[in-house]
Structure 1
């Protein structure tokens, strides 16, 4: 809800200067901006006599929670001199109690800061005082600011009085952390969410305040102030107050606001975006350096750059976003051009790089070099094709860009630009020349891989680091027939029902030719794991029968043979279950020279 003229607090008796955020503090519901649904709800409630006993006002800082609470207290106690009346949202005339309530000095409107009154004793005083009728007003109104900071005991102590207060008592709570308020309290209140003020509404309000102050403020400067306020009226008025003092007799210009807040010129941010999208590193670094020299914060520049990426993405999906009055003409026109020329994948990649780079710049000991490295990274990433485009280029026989030149190191954007390299031409980048590409070569299929045995298939799975398939081949496959390109097997009970399809799919991928894998009803050979275990057991049994080993086992009661290893040519040892090529079906040789691995139990000697 808006009004043509901003409300203003009564002038202080001392005549001292009052900041704009206090001077133009709303005095009635008509002065509030952006909170129409709440005002309409209260109007209907007052007209029908459905006045609640408690209200919860929530929202970000500076949207008018405390001010709305005072106006609500004024409306509850509205009384014109010599006339009977009741609660009303029509506060066009100043009532008996209005001035004292809005100045925070009325005896029956008690404002309490929960940040400094958090204990149950503070709430107990409120409960005790609530029993007494108001001194002069219609209702005794308790305004509790930042109510989420009350302790759990204080909330519990307040519940009974909050649910069934005396008829003359009303509660108005305000908080920025609604999630920290117990649900038992919320259920006893009517809740109003005071949302951020829209940029266009805030700009109009700031323009009215500037006109009332007889200060010349450029429309673009007002737009910059509204954008910096992020939906907070108080922040917007505070920034405007500072800008008026900073600008002096020259008024408030866009350059004044940018210099004061360390903001980057919006149009120069767009120039920077164009440079990195073209892959022109030199132009991007030069632009960042010039903005830094005139006072722009590198982190703010990257933040504005990310905001423009978001704007271009929104315009691409919702073209009407470009009609937002809060946007400058350059943002509208050039934003549309970029939205038509850049793909969503490129914009998403730029957003991710900027989001990560912004955190790096904010924590870096030297923000400017860190920001420059982010721009270099972004320029090179913008010049790269997306994965699907790279695959398409390979399939079409197009050579990849020549390694070496990279994004342009000189002016003019001759580095080729991500837009042209990926088949996208931006209207603003038409003068850029495409990056030279390698000579197109005929596509060649990789040679097929021969798998001579089932053991080779297992090794192939191991080489490709597919542990799951290697385990399944060794323990779940009873081989019936094998030949290069075809496998028949009988799965063990409990094996994966889709094992045959998985084996065929992965072998076809690894060998570059089709494999036929079928499940057979024949019994098949033992699994590889069963064969290895049988071989190991046979070797252990034969070793146990050796007289020397038998003597050792008899000398150390509880000792057990767990494995048999063979010495290799290099003097090392190889496990008996190392594979088919290690043993085959050859008879066990003489145990002289073999190394026995024994596991000893407890013994006394």
Structure 2
């Protein structure tokens, strides 16, 4: 055994040599077998450990941050002018760079080099403290996770050290991530320090839930809202990383990843990491492989589905959706694609195909669609799809909800727009051609033919209700005993315009979202013709309930002004007028005059 004077030292004890087996060692171990040496796992060499792309390409300077130019410009001006805040609040969705920005800020505050001896946002050259801050081992930069240390005691321990000056760097920097997780007591303990911080302390907070941070804390911080990174910004960044990694990937596949990242750079890099292992070595990762990995529907198939909707082809649209759903496409994702196509079609109609974010072939298709549709039709289509997208999130069966939305969209596709209806009204044409009670158009539709048709259709017109005023519509709803619809119409419909077959109204606050659909469907069922029900943002008259309420208030005011009623209310304190009823009109009964018996005619004689 080798001689070691410091055997009590555990690190020295680790250097003990195990001799080879001999008789002396047998005696030393009590004659038993020598224990086998303990197998120690070989440590992974640094070159063998794989670093994920999100960590490998984490920004090292403010210039490396993508999509946050406004924040970088503000910080640069603040550092140049020497107006550096004592506390910063960084907020934004996941993966936009909050923690990275916090570390860059900590480096900028404590930046020092051979030539620079003050805070600086120019981090292109590594400073004295930069490497230690990057590796998270600097003694004056403390990174804390508020999710694991939410209590007031932990915050008090942290604040206890604030009063002490930094050991090596210029400032003591406290980086607190997910600060919204702190308890109320912890926020209260932090508040006094933020109000009067020592000159050597700086605080950097990061959160994804800015609304959960007390206003008293926010008012003492310089706030930066980190923006989502748009696909057109993230796309070249991902392509650049692919070039640095020496891998080949289809540009369309990169575009799919940029869209799926939803503004998060970290999510985009994680998806890219996953995509790069999908293909074989040396092969190009295709868009189809990435689409299958993400569970997305084929873009060409979804665009065909959109064209089916535009054309009102209900059966083709349902079959196309079921095919996509069978391949594993998510209904919400498909509806999201439909919304994107509606938006792209509108943009292409106004600005041209080059203004869309779609690939060239798809951009040409949506441009062709835009040339056939009016801006009003596209706007209505967007509204219907957006409502369907919200319904998918709440529906217990997303597939069934999507199919019902398809039925509604295809049904609405062949409805004429308000501009078309106005032209028909001005020209005297029926609102809905070939509807029951309307004259047929085309050859043979002259005056005599229209007259004959009117005579033939007269019995049908008598059998089918044809309300000519809004009051008649209300009466029709009452006659059909649809109490729920009657209440909704009286409560939420502020009439703007009425024509037979068309109702325009301003919805009152809290109106049901399906009121237009329900009213249109019921009127079509009862009258046998389609009704155009449209809404406007303002200009409507009172609702029936608002009018009745106003009239009741006016009647109460008249009663209270009556001297007799006023005296009654004064005589009985606490009495109030609860209802006002119209005085019933007297019933006029016609009474035949009494004729004396001798003057009454002899009916029998007259009959003879």
Is residue 281 from structure 1 mapped to residue 314 from structure 2 by the alignment? yes
Tell me whether 1:86 sits opposite 2:118 in the alignment.
yes
Q: Which residue of 1 aligns with 2:372?
A: 341
In structure 1, how many angstroms separate the alpha carbons of the residues matched to 2:473 and 2:230?
A: 60
How far, CA to CA, are the matches of 1:160 and 1:298 in structure 2? 51
Distance across 1 between alignment mates of 2:168 and 2:353: 53
Per the alignment, residue 386 of structure 1 pairs with 417
> Does the residue aligned with 1:117 lie in a helix, a strand or coil?
coil
In the alignment, the residues of structure 1 paired with residue 385 and residue 405 of structure 2 have an alpha-carbon distance, to the nearest angstrom, of 7
- The superposition leaves residues 24-69 of structure 1 with CA deviations (integer Å, 9 ceiling, x where unpaired) of 1111112111222222222232233222211111111111011000
Which runs of 5 or more structure 1 residues have no equivalent in the other structure? 1-10, 405-434, 448-458, 467-528, 530-576, 590-605
User: Out of 152, 157, 160, which is 2:184 matched to?
Assistant: 152
Q: 1:111 aligns with which of 139, 143, 149?
A: 143
Query: Is it true that 1:327 corresponds to 2:358 in the alignment?
Result: yes
TM-score, length-normalised on structure 1?
0.63
Q: Name the CA distance, whole Å, in 2 between partners of 1:286 and 1:139.
A: 65
Judged with a 3 Å threshold, the aligned counterparts in structure 2 of structure 1 residues 44 and 578 are, in CA distance, closer, same or farther, namely: closer
Change (3 A) 1:133 1:346: same
Q: Is 1:165 the equivalent of 2:165?
A: no
Q: Equivalent residue for 2:155?
A: 123
Equivalent runs, 1:528-539 vs 2, <5 Å: none
The offset of 1:92, in angstroms, is: 1.7
Matches within 5 A, 1:308-323: 308-316=341-349, 319=351, 322-323=354-355
The TM-score normalised by the length of structure 2 is 0.63
The answer (yes or no) to whether the contact 2:353–2:364 under 8 Å persists in 1 is no
Alignment of 1:305-454 (within 5 A): 305-316=338-349, 319=351, 322-324=354-356, 326-362=357-393, 364=395, 366-387=397-418, 389-390=420-421, 392-393=423-424, 395-398=427-430, 400-402=432-434
Query: For the residues of structure 1 that align with 2:398 and 2:474, how far apart are their CA atoms?
Result: 47
- Secondary structure in structure 2 of the residue aligned to 1:583: coil
Which residues in structure 2 correspond to 1:13-162 (within 5 Å)? 13=46, 15-80=48-113, 85-162=117-194
> 1:379/1:12 Cα in 2 relative to 1: closer, same or farther (>3 Å)?
farther
* TM superposition shift of 1:237: 0.6
C-alpha contact (below 8 Å) 2:352/2:367 kept by paired residues = no
Taking a change above 3 Å as real, the CA distance of residues 248 and 383 of structure 1, as seen in their structure-2 partners, is same
- Assess, with a 3 A threshold, how the Cα gap between structure 1 residues 436 and 583 changes in structure 2: closer, same or farther: closer
In 1, Cα distance between the equivalents of 2:168 and 2:431?
87
Match of 1:217 among 231, 244, 249: 249
Secondary structure, aligned partner of 2:279: helix
Aligned-pair CA distance for 1:100: 2.0
| Contact 2:87/2:204 (8 A) holds in 1 | yes
**How many angstroms apart in 2 are the aligned matches of 1:172 and 1:29?**
16
Per-residue CA distance 1:387-438 (angstroms, 9 max, x = gap): 553464365335835579xxxxxxxxxxxxxxxxxxxxxxxxxxxxxx9989
CA contact (8 A) 2:376 2:417 kept: yes
For residues 218 and 437 of structure 1, the distance between their equivalents in structure 2, rounded to whole angstroms, comes to 55
* Corresponding residue to 1:242 among 271, 274, 293: 274
Return closer, same or farther for 1:321/1:360 CA change in 2, 3 Å cut-off. same
Query: How far, CA to CA, are the matches of 1:188 and 1:315 in structure 2?
Result: 46
- What is the CA distance between 1:223 and its match in structure 2? 1.0
Aligned residues: 425
RMSD (Å), alpha carbons: 3.6
Contact 2:348 2:355 in 1 (8 A): no
